[in-house]
Amino acid sequence: MSDAVAPPLPVRRWRDELADVLRGASVDATHGPIPRTLALLAVPMVLEMAMESLFAVVDIFFVARLGADAVAAVGSTEAVLSLVYAVAFGLAIGVSATVARRIGERRPDAAARAAGQGVVLGLAVSAVLAVVGVAFAPQILALLGNGEAVQRVGAGYTRAVLGGSGSVLLLFLLNAVFRGAGDATVAMRVLWVANGVNIALDPCLIFGLGPFPELGVTGAGVATVIGRSTGVLLALRVLARGHGRVHLDASALRPDRAVLASLARLASTGALQTLIGTASWIGLVRVLSGFGSAAVAGYTIGIRIVIFAILPAWGVASAAATMLGQSLGARDPARAERAVWLACRANAAFLTAVGLALVLGAPWLVRLFGDDPAVAPFAEACLRLVGLGFPAYAFGMVLTQAFNGAGDTWTPTWINLACFWFWEIPLAWALAYPLGQGPRGAFLAIAIAFSTLALVSAALFRRGRWRTTRV
Angle between helices 68-104 and 280-289 (to 10 degrees): 170
The percent of residues in the chain predicted with pLDDT above 70, rounded, is 91
Mean pLDDT of 53-69: 74
Q: If you average pLDDT over residues 186-190, what whole number do you get? A: 89
Model pLDDT, residue 251:
84
- Tell me what the mean pLDDT of segment 118-127 comes to: 82
Contact 171, 94 (CB under 8 A): no
pLDDT at 232 over 80: yes
Residues 6+ apart with CB under 8 A from 34: 323, 335, 338, 339, 342
Residue range 401-421: mean pLDDT, rounded: 92
Residue 56 — very low, low, confident or very high, per pLDDT cuts 50/70/90? low
List CB contacts of 466: < 8 A, sequence separation 6 or more: 402, 403, 406, 408, 411
Distance of CA 398 to the CA centre of its chain: 13
- What pLDDT does 457 receive? 96
pLDDT of 9: 40
Mean local confidence (pLDDT), 219-224: 87
Instruction: Say what the pTM is.
Output: 0.78
pLDDT at 392 (0 to 100): 92
Q: Domain extents for the chain?
A: 31-468
Instruction: Please check whether residue 125 is in contact with residue 90, taking contact to mean a CB–CB distance below 8 angstroms.
Output: no
DSSP, collapsed to helix, strand or coil, labels residue 318 as helix
Whether 429 shows a pLDDT value over 80: the answer reads yes
- Where helices occur in 107-147 by DSSP H, the ranges are 108-135, 137-143
pLDDT of residue 4: 43
Section 387-401 average pLDDT: 93
- What pLDDT sits at residue 201? 92
Residue 284 contacts residue 423 (beta carbons within 8 Å): no
Give residue 344's pLDDT.
95
What sign does the CA torsion over 185, 25, 93, 348 have? negative
Indicate if the pLDDT at residue 152 is higher than 80. no
**Which range has highest mean pLDDT (77-91, 147-161, 358-372, 456-470)?**
456-470
Burial of 237: CB neighbours in 10 Å, binned 0-12, 13-18, 19+: exposed
Average pLDDT over residues 292-303: 86
d(CA 344, CA 453): 14
Distance CA 114, CA 259 (A): 6
Predicted confidence at residue 65, as pLDDT, reads 79
pLDDT average, residue stretch 171-185: 88
Give the tens place of pLDDT for each residue, 80-113: 676 777 778 888 888 888 999 999 888 888 889 8
Mean per-residue pLDDT over the chain, rounded? 84
With CA atoms as reference, report the closest residue to 98 among 267, 220, 344, 248: 267
What does DSSP assign to residue 279?
T
